[in-house]
Amino acid sequence: MDTGVVVVGAGPTGLMLAGELRLAGADVILLERLPEPTGQSRGLGFTARTMEVFDQRGLLPRFGAFHASTAGHFGGLPLDFGVLDGIHFQANGIPQWRTERVLAEWATELGADIRRGTGLTALTDHGDHVEVATEGPGGAGTLRAAFVVGCDGGQSTVRELAGIAFPGSAATMEMFLADIEGAGLPPRPIGQRVPGGMAMNAPIGDGIDRVIVCERGTAPKRRAEAPPFAEVAAAWRRLTGEDITGATPLWTSSFTDSARQAERYRRGRVFLAGDAAHVHLPAGGQGLNVGVQDAVNLGWKLGAALRRDSPVDLLDTYHDERHPVGARVLMNTQAQGLVYLGGTEVDPLRTVLAELMAFDEVNRHLVAMVSGMEIRYGDVAEDDHPLVGRRVPPVELVVEGRATDPVALLRDAKGVLLGLAGGDKLARVAEGWADRVTFVRATRRSDAGPDPLAGADAVLVRPDGHAAWVAPCAADAAQALERWFGPPTR
């Protein structure tokens, strides 16, 4: 084998996966057809759940100062993220190029082999390994790996070569996005609608405006390259009456309301993540976040498979857990597109929805949906602890007299078994998995407020931060450890 895993695509999803694989002890080669990062930034931040993911790997300080906001929206109607107390809020003002740079530096430090200017041209799954053909600066080549993961976007070459169906709805409209300098425009927030479509702009610093424009009734074009700025400016003028032709475009892009999801996230030794697995209207900026979380779910599982210490069906849980999440994102972005981009016929719906969102419970439900806070993996029994299947929140713990939290305990991407009620017997059981799971005897700070761990004697936390088992319950610790981390070391 040339490597354990070939990852295709060096966007946030592929870079996050490369780092996760290295933490799991896997060799990884990351192929990116572009010779250099584009420097473009469709995304300008990330959600609370992605902040937690970055935090558990110690990455947040690398982003420098940023603004954490409680303000969001659903279909252009305001959402208050402050209803979810005690968590990170969404981070604003972080351009995607900075996210990619942080993740690339991290993955490289961990030993990932990132090969820019190298694309994948063919793929063959031989059953016991995958062989890929590449084209790069040195000409054509071949790589052999145990697994291949396509993180190569909505037009994924990996998905096409693997023969994975991509059903869904075709585009009905096209939106333009551009960063422009010197426009001198007044801000147009997302909730401010215009007749005939959508026109939004916001200052993003250094005299630069981010403009997004969409004309209803205009058929989307099949494009091989970015739209010319003249086309963007013409659409903006038709909708707003404002002339931005004198501004300097830094870059332009387009996207559509197409909603598609891969039929399977795994076929044999080939996997899909990020936009290669799901494309949708970028409502609320969920795409980057879902892709990063795909990577964190998959990375430790591939690492375990390569070490040959994983349960036989562990890799199948990637599709089982993440496919429903992707389907939910497609559903909510389609709903937001209808509410925000529809004409006057949806005004009654917008009015009713705005009235409902005034209720805290509705607001909380929608915030959890668009931030990923609602995610709960697995078949959960009725008598299971409320934490089972969910991310363990950053609760305050005391370990050996020092304050910490579960997020900090996940820095090295190993599993964590928290003993919260004594734990001598639990510690002895955990010895068989000490190479994969860290046993930690911890207590809750008595003055730390509401306790999401109330009633829990022990919690088994997966490397991705989700609770796999909470005691007391029917299954004992050894069963839970073997279910998620394979047989004990003899």
For residue range 140-164, list pLDDT tens digits in order.
Answer: 999 999 999 999 999 999 999 999 9
Q: What is the pLDDT of residue 121?
A: 96
Q: What is the pLDDT of residue 66?
A: 78
Tell me: pLDDT of 383 over 70. yes
CB distance 114 to 32 below 8 Å? yes
How many Cα atoms within 13 Å fall on the side-chain side of residue 69? 15
Element (H, E) at 286: helix 286-307
Among 255, 3, 333, 287, smallest CA distance to 148 is for 3
279 burial level (CB within 10 Å; 0-12, 13-18, 19+): buried
- At residue 5, the 3 state secondary structure works out as strand
Query: Where in the chain are all domains bearing CATH 3.30.70.2450?
Result: 174-257
User: 472 preceded by cis ω (within 30°)?
Assistant: yes
Separation between Cα atoms, residue 415 and residue 439, nearest integer Å: 9
Q: Which fold has domain 390-485?
A: Glutaredoxin (3.40.30)
Q: What is the pLDDT of residue 316?
A: 97
Separation between Cα atoms, residue 292 and residue 390, nearest integer Å: 17
Q: What is the pLDDT of residue 390?
A: 95
User: In this structure, which CATH number among 3.50.50.60, 3.40.50.970, 3.60.15.10, 3.30.365.10 belongs to the domain 3-168+260-348?
Assistant: 3.50.50.60
pLDDT digits (tens, 9 = 90+) for 189-203: 876 788 888 899 988
Q: What is the pLDDT of residue 475?
A: 80
Separation between Cα atoms, residue 6 and residue 18, nearest integer Å: 9
Q: What is the pLDDT of residue 89?
A: 60
Band of pLDDT at residue 447, cut at 50, 70 and 90:
low
Q: What is the pLDDT of residue 12?
A: 95
Average pLDDT (91-108) is 90
Band of pLDDT at residue 387, cut at 50, 70 and 90:
very high
Separation between Cα atoms, residue 480 and residue 171, nearest integer Å: 44
Band of pLDDT at residue 454, cut at 50, 70 and 90:
confident
Q: What is the pLDDT of residue 76?
A: 87
Share of the chain above pLDDT 70, in %: 98
DSSP class of residue 310 equals S
Query: Where in the chain are all domains bearing CATH 3.40.30.120?
Result: 390-485
Tell me: pLDDT of 87 over 60. no
User: In this structure, which CATH number among 1.20.970.10, 3.40.50.300, 3.30.470.10, 3.30.70.2450 belongs to the domain 174-257?
Assistant: 3.30.70.2450
Rg (C-alpha) for the chain, rounded Å, is 23
Among 449, 443, 459, 456, smallest CA distance to 400 is for 443
Amino acid at 338: L
CB distance 43 to 185 below 8 Å? no
Among 49, 65, 54, smallest CA distance to 19 is for 54
Query: Where in the chain are all domains bearing CATH 3.50.50.60?
Result: 3-168+260-348
Q: Mean pLDDT over all residues of the chain?
A: 91
Q: What is the pLDDT of residue 449?
A: 64
Tell me: pLDDT of 169 over 70. yes
Better-scored residue on pLDDT, 82 or 255: 255
Band of pLDDT at residue 85, cut at 50, 70 and 90:
low
Between the alpha carbon of residue 265 and those of residues 158, 333, 370, the distances in Å are 11, 20, 21
